[in-house]
Structure formats: structure tokens, C-alpha cells
Structure 1
Amino acid sequence: MSTETPRLDPALAAGNRRPAAGYRATHFKWQLDEGVATITLNRPERKNPLTFESYAELRDLFGQLKYADDVKVVVMAGAGDNFCSGGDVHEIIGPLVRLKAPELLMFTRMTGDLVKAMRGCPQPIVAAIDGVCAGAGAIIAMASDLRLGTARSKTAFLFNRVGLAGCDMGACAMLPRIVGQGRASELLYTGRSLGGEEGERWGFFNRLVAPEALQAEAAALARDLAAGPTFANGITKTMLHQEWAMTIEQAIEAEAQAQAICMLTEDFTRAYEAFVARQKPRFEGN
């Protein structure tokens, strides 16, 4: 009988490992295939708007993904020819004008919590953006780690068009870090649409692909990431997010500690042994 100590105590695993394989989505499509989870907003007849229910389910799902070791990468997509038109005019905007401050704050905190959950989950998020990407849809794209677009993409942070400030769901903090302060200011003050080619030039999109190839390209990128050192990728995502609030000296020390932890992983050893053997490493995320 083997006396080898289990790599992870079952009691510890029970509270911190919750596979997502059995998850059943209610307000969007969900698919999990070989470590790649695909979330598809699925109201194409309305350009995939969000509702109170879909906001809450997305927030809760991304919060759960930090425990899901069977999910390595997430792809965010929209059904049909559009990504997401933002909050549903009839199911969200209409009800909001009748609410009082406590309920309005409940809503805005819920939407902000979705972004915090997206940034807090360790899995890289790849957004596949075609057609309309507006309002909260633009925020979801912004909160993703990588963005693939098309030439016909139209991204608009259109909050001022409906009488609201551009400071929504972290936009004033995150968007300038992606496209720069001046360009972010233009988008948030005017609410105008950012076309696909312009978005690629500005750095909002990592690259553009043909509309008919968008889903396949996003899936291929996700598979490449899923085949990589996923524990280390999670550390990279954490540091990219946390270092926004650090000085250079603090960031260098934090990265020294983070990298030392990654050097303890079996993936690091596998990479070295594969290099010595002149082979491609097979990472397992541990």
C-alpha cells in the first residue's frame, strides 16, 4: 500500500475545489470543453441585452470560477451578429427610473460586482466582439483580459447619451489603462462608437478577424491559453490587476514573491525537463 501523502487534503479540497462541469446556466448559454468555458449572451433578436437576472447570474458565476479548477480559460461571446447592447431598455432602464436611492445603489453595486468578479477570477477571459458592443456590453469587453474584434464592431461607452456619468462599473479606472487617458476621456464624454479598425489602432482590440472566423479564433486562442501553465497565468492576471495600485518598488517586490511561488510548481520543472530533452512541455496547471 502506498504511504505517499495526498497532494491535496480532501477536506481542504472540499471547501476550495468546486468543478464547474455540472453548471447549468439560466440566463445565457454555457459550455465547458477541455478547460475552455464559453459564455454566450443569447438574446440575438435584441442584440443580447442584459437583465437584472443575467447580471446577477454572471456575477455569481464569475465569483464561483475562482474555485473551479476544471475551467482554465473563459470566452465571452454574443449570439448572432452582435456582442451585447448593454442593459435592456425595457427590463432595466425603465424600472430604474422608478426606484429610490437604496435600490439604485443596490443595482449599481451589483453591476460593479460583476466587473470585480471578472477581474478576481484567475482564468483569463477572452472576449469575442462582433457588431454592437455598447454600455454594459462595452464594460464586459473592457473587463476581459483579451479582446478579439471585427471591422464592423461598434463599441460605445454611451452612458452620457442617457444622462449618466461615464464613471460606470470601473470605466474611469480601467479604460484609460487600455487606450490612454485622452482617448478614454473622448469615449466617456461623447459616448461615440469606436469602430473596429480604430479600436485595434487604439489598443482596445488585440486584433481583428473576419466575422465568420471570430468564434473559431477566440476558441483557438482560449485553447492555447488553456494548454499553458494555467497556475502561472492566474498569477499573471492577479499581478496585472493588483499592480495598478502599487509603486514600481512595490510591484518589483510583489513580482519577486509571485515568481518565486511559480518556481515551486511542477509546471516549472516540466518546462525545464522538456527543454533539456528538446521537447515541448505539457503543462498541467500545478
Structure 2
Amino acid sequence: MLDADAPILFERRGAVALLTLNRPATRNALDGEAMYAAFESLFEQLNADLSLGAAVLTGSGSAFCSGGDVAQMRERAGMFAGSPQEIAGNYRQGIQRIPRAFQRLHLPIIAAVNGPAIGAGNDLACLCDIRIAATTARFAESFVKVGIVPGDGGCWLLPRVVGASRAAELAFTGEAIDAQEALRIGLVSRVVAPEALLDEALALAGRIAANPPQALRWTKQLLLQARTESLDEALDAAARFQGLAHHTADHAEAVAAFFDKRPPRFGQGEGT
């Protein structure tokens, strides 16, 4: 049963977890202990459930995520309260818990960007493995427009998605781009009509989740580690995971199904 007051709604759609940011009154701003804790606890729940193969993250209302709460910035309230040292601590103990939670997430996750993804909202989309945008989506690394810097790791995330030059242009200008421009520069992988967005994202997540769940988790871990590893380190990690993968029941089932010319049935035995 859904908790209608939860900052993030969680629904199961078969082997796919649908997560919906649930603060439409603030255009799904990323602020407050409840929001940070929700990402942490939900991701722990997803990690523990091997019957899930993928997740989709979207926003309620007309926005995907508006980033920080500018009203709180004006009032110097919440995470924006205190001395420079106190604000730094607020970031470390607050919003920076979200990218750290994503770093620990084992499942592939798709951002279904239904509307504006601004500031930390743009970075939230970049934390996802795949991004699909509705034609109504807009993206902005807009921190400089309010005289601050990307405090949630955006300067680490964005170049890894769109490359150094385009990331610099977005971060230095703070200007918004529409969904088609986001597609052109590789920020998103496809653009669809708003009414088709969730179906497209869930269908893609379903195709991902049809694969062996443990192999998906190991593949995602290799992709995450590759952001900072040398080639030798990446090859060593791949060899270790491959050794484990060859001893799973799902690998044996996949090979048997290949020779039997039938669809595989994953998750039927121990060691999957």
C-alpha cells in the first residue's frame, strides 16, 4: 500500500520498481531529512530484493525535480542556514547523501524526466544510468544563476554524461536547454510524448529486468567502478565478477536455454 505522504512513492511493476518524487508543491525539491532518508532506505530495500531487476525514477506533478528550495535560500533556512562552515556541514550531512546513496544502488535505474530538471534536479537525472525525457522536459545546471556552485557533485557527474566542453557550457552559463537539445548532446537517450513517457521507461526497465538479476547488479558495479579505475583495475574486477557469474544457476539456465532454443527462466535456483 502506498504512503501518500512519503517524499518518494514506491510501487512494484512486476520486476521493476517505480519511484516517484512526491513533493509537487515544491516541484519535487530535494531538501529535508525525510527526502534524504527516503533515498537511503528505499535503495537499501531495492538492493536486498533480488526479484527486482531495474528501477524507474520520475516526478509527481509538472516537474521532475526543481533542485534546491530557493525560498529556503532567501530565508537562509534549512540546509542554507548558518556560517560557511555550518552550510558545508549541512551539504555533507544532507543533500550529498543522495549521490552517495546512488553510488551504493545495485539496480540499473532509469530517469523518466517528465518536466523541468533544474540545478540539483539535473544532477539527479545524471545520477541515473539512463535518461528518457518527455517533450515537456527542460534541463539546467543553473547554480551560477543564484550565485552558488553545484554542491551535490554536479561538476563530477555532468562531464561524465555529456563530456567536458558541453558540461562546462551548461555549468558556466546556467542556461536551460529543452528536451531536443538534451537529446542532441547526449544528456538523454530518447525524447517521447509526455503521455508515453512512463510506458516507455517501464518498458525499457522491463527489458532490462528480464535478464539475470545478479548479472545486472555486477554489470552496474563494473560500470560505476570504471569511472575512476584504471584499465588494469577494471580488468581485474571484471575477472573476479566473471568467475562468480560462471557459477550461478542463471548462467547455467541461460546456456541451457540457448541450446534448447527456448526463453530462459531466471531465478529458479540457488546462487542466482
**Under a length normalisation based on structure 1, what TM-score does the superposition of the two structures give?**
0.85
Partner residue of 2:68? Answer: 87
Residue 156 (structure 1) shift: 0.8
CA deviation map 1:124-152 (0-9, x unaligned): 11110022111121111000011101233
Identity across aligned pairs (percent)? 35
Q: Structure 2 vs 1, CA of residues 128 and 64 (structure 1 numbering), >3 Å: closer, same or farther?
A: same
* Distance in 1 separating the partners of 2:74 and 2:256: 57
CA deviation map 1:161-215 (0-9, x unaligned): 111123x322222211110000011111111112211111211111111111001
1:65 maps to 2:46 = yes
Aligned residues: 265
Q: How does 1:232-247 map to 2 (within 5 A)?
A: 232-247=215-230
1:174 maps to 2:154 = no
Q: Which amino acid is the alignment partner of residue 236 of structure 1?
A: T
Partner residue of 2:134? Answer: 150
Asked if structure 2 preserves the Cα contact closer than 8 Å seen for 1:227 and 1:282, the reply is no
Partner residue of 1:5? Answer: none
CA deviation map 1:233-285 (0-9, x unaligned): 11111111112222112212221222221111111111110011111212228
Partner residue of 2:118? Answer: 134
Residue 44 of structure 1, aligned match among 24, 37, 42: 24
Q: Which moved more, 1:80-89 or 1:235-244?
A: 80-89
Partner residue of 2:242? Answer: 259
**Under a length normalisation based on structure 2, what TM-score does the superposition of the two structures give?**
0.89
SS in 2 for 1:76: strand
Query: After TM superposition, where is structure 1 displaced by more than 6 Å over at least 4 residues in a row?
Result: 21-25
CA deviation map 1:96-136 (0-9, x unaligned): 44323454233211212211111211011111002211112
SS in 2 for 1:192: coil
* Distance in 2 separating the partners of 1:78 and 1:135: 15
Asked if structure 1 preserves the Cα contact closer than 8 Å seen for 2:66 and 2:116, the reply is yes
* Distance in 2 separating the partners of 1:25 and 1:31: 14
Asked if structure 2 preserves the Cα contact closer than 8 Å seen for 1:24 and 1:30, the reply is no
Q: Structure 2 vs 1, CA of residues 185 and 99 (structure 1 numbering), >3 Å: closer, same or farther?
A: same
Structure 1 alignment gaps of length 5 or more: 1-20
Q: Structure 2 vs 1, CA of residues 275 and 93 (structure 1 numbering), >3 Å: closer, same or farther?
A: farther
RMSD (Å) for aligned C-alpha atoms: 2.2
Residue 275 of structure 1, aligned match among 251, 258, 261: 258
Partner residue of 2:104? Answer: 120
Q: Which moved more, 1:141-150 or 1:65-74?
A: 65-74
Structure 2 alignment gaps of length 5 or more: none
1:26 maps to 2:12 = no
Q: Structure 2 vs 1, CA of residues 255 and 150 (structure 1 numbering), >3 Å: closer, same or farther?
A: same
